């Protein structure tokens, strides 16, 4: 992959955490649309084609265990309307030759109209799919649980609320 595709893939994975959280707040087509509605699937997309990423190099120069990638951005529904914002921190747990070839553990939070949702999970930028867990929330999302999958190459984020 060229550098632009790898950056986009990393962003998509990072955005997945945000999308998982944001998706929990919005009903998928065909649902009744009520917030907190369990047993539904929510589909989202990343808001920015090339969001800004901040690399925090805390160890040896270059990717090493413990380094972080921090990202903030918006998340959108499939029709392009805004769904909310996300903040995510991913820590390298297995360093590769570049930040795009490393393995991460990520956690994040998403600010949505009815409250916030927290998410966590592993992330491998080169994987076709990356699973995440919905770990909780505030406001209307208090006690949120579920999981999600990010398909970085397709810019797809699917969240299943339990």
What is the domain partition of the chain in residue ranges? 3-161
Composition of the chain by helix, strand, coil, percent to 5: 20, 45, 35
Domain 3-161 matching CATH 2.40.480.10: the answer reads yes
Which two tokens mark 61? 């120069």
Q: Would you state the pLDDT for residue 13?
A: 45
Model confidence at 56, in pLDDT bands (50, 70, 90)? very high
pTM beyond 0.85: the answer is no
Does position 57 have pLDDT exceeding 90, yes or no? Answer: yes
H helix and E strand count, the chain? 1, 9
Tens digit of each residue's pLDDT (9 = 90 or more) over 80-103: 999 888 888 999 999 999 988 999
Model confidence at 117, in pLDDT bands (50, 70, 90)? confident
* 126-139 b/e (C-beta count within 10 Å ≥ 16 → b): bbeebebbbbbbbe
Q: Lowest mean pLDDT of 34-43, 61-70, 74-83, 101-110, name the range.
A: 34-43
Does position 22 have pLDDT exceeding 70, yes or no? Answer: no
Does position 122 have pLDDT exceeding 90, yes or no? Answer: yes
């Amino acid at each position: 992959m060229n550098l632009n595709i790898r950056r986009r893939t990393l962003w998509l994975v990072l955005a997945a955490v945000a999308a998982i959280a944001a998706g929990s707040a919005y009903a998928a087509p065909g649902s009744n649309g009520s917030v907190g509605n369990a047993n539904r699937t929510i589909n989202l997309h990343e808001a920015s084609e090339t969001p800004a990423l901040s690399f925090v190099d805390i160890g040896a120069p270059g990717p090493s265990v413990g380094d972080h990638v921090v990202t903030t951005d918006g998340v959108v529904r499939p029709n392009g309307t805004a769904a909310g914002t996300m903040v995510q921190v991913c820590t390298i747990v297995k360093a590769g030759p570049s930040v795009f070839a490393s393995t991460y553990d990520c956690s994040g939070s998403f600010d949505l109209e009815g409250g916030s949702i927290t998410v966590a999970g592993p992330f491998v930028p080169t994987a076709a799919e990356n699973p995440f867990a919905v770990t909780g929330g505030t406001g209307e999302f208090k006690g949120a649980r579920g999981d999600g999958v990010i398909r970085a190459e397709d810019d797809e984020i699917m969240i299943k609320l339990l």
